[in-house]
Amino acid sequence: MSYFQILGLEKEPFSTSPDPEFFYQSQEHQAALTRLLIEIRLRRGLSVILGDIGTGKTTLSRKLFQMLKSREDTIFSMILDPTYETEEVFLESLLRTFGVALENSRPSVLDMKEAIKKYLFQKGVQENKTVILLVDEAQKLNQASLEVLRVLLNYETNEFKLIQLVLLAQLELLPKIREMKNLMDRISMKYIINPLDDAETKEMIEFRIRQAGYQSALPLFKDEAIMEIYQQTQGYPRRIAMLAHKSLKALVMENKIVVDRDVVRKIVQEDIV
């Protein structure tokens, strides 16, 4: 029997995998998601979400995908690791992502750009669909790849952009974009996600426990334990999940019924966080 089943849970509550069902929407996450949806609905073009490692950007992207994937008027594609050495390699990846086949077995860069342009016009104008391309870990994009994205944003009608680009990245992406004024000027929405505060840390822990099926009126974490978790993690969701997970495992191993400050501190002192 798994440790979480011993505690009366149906699922692992603190997995660090980006499961949208366990996505706690803080005020900042909710604001970012709402603004993204507005930009996409209006087809404004380029949206950029920035944040440090572990602030929940990837889970936010999965939540957005979950909300839009079933819409018949939307085509949603994601790139999870945008590490491309050359412009050609990135264009080839975009063609595969969009499912565009070329008759020419050795197409030029111009051929690939023209094929993508035709695809976007067909989907966006003729079929009136919203084409979304979300790029996670966008700080990995080099200048050549960023230039390709800038070109894609040139494809538009008098009313809207034919592709909706959503870039989720660490803060180091911003200096790269600033070097390209013609791309910086195209950002329709930029939002920076900050870590949670102490109240949101408590809400996140309790939300995840409930999502995992916990129904008892007795708390699994004392308030003092949650405050200790907040102080140790500084409100970064991924760190919170990791420390809360290890706290619950320690709870079972030590045959206790509730996580207190001592349990959390012992984990930190043993340097296993």
pLDDT digits (tens, 9 = 90+) for 248-259: 999 888 888 899
How far is the CA of 249 from the CAs of 22, 111, 202, 218, 241, in angstroms? 19, 56, 19, 17, 12
Which residue do the tokens 């909710």 mark?
30
With residues binned 3-state (H G I as helix, E B as strand, rest as coil), the percentages for the chain, rounded to 5, are 50, 15, 35
Mean local confidence (pLDDT), 189-206: 96
Mean local confidence (pLDDT), 13-20: 88
Give the pLDDT band (50/70/90) at residue 271.
Answer: low
Phi, psi of 156, rounded to the nearest 5 degrees: -160, 165
Q: Of residues 112 and 1, which shows the higher confidence score? A: 112
| Cβ neighbours for 112, distance < 8 A, ≥ 6 positions apart | 88, 91, 92, 94, 95, 102
pLDDT at 89: 95
β-bridge partners, 166 = 47, 134
- Calpha distance 251→14 (Å, rounded): 14
Give the pLDDT band (50/70/90) at residue 273.
Answer: very low
pLDDT at 260: 93
**Helices (H) and strands (E) in the chain — how many of each?**
12, 5
pLDDT at 6: 82
Half-sphere exposure of 115 (CA within 13 A, CB side): 20
User: How is residue 193 written in tokens?
Assistant: 């996600």
Give the pLDDT band (50/70/90) at residue 272.
Answer: low
Pairing of strands 130-135, 187-193: unpaired
Q: Angle at Cα 84 formed by Cα 82 and Cα 86, nearest 5°? A: 150
Q: Which of 5-19, 25-39, 97-111 has the highest mean pLDDT?
A: 25-39
User: How is residue 113 written in tokens?
Assistant: 């750009």
pLDDT at 1: 64
How far is the CA of 61 from the CAs of 32, 78, 189, 260, in angstroms? 11, 9, 15, 33
Instruction: Give the model confidence (pLDDT) of 99-136 as tens digits.
Output: 998 888 888 999 999 999 999 999 999 999 999 999 99
- Calpha distance 135→161 (Å, rounded): 17
Domains and CATH numbers, the chain: 3-11+196-269 (1.10.8.60), 27-193 (3.40.50.300)
| Among 45-49, 82-86, 215-219, 267-271, the least confident range | 267-271
pLDDT at 106: 87
Which residue do the tokens 């990837």 mark?
58
- Calpha distance 102→188 (Å, rounded): 32
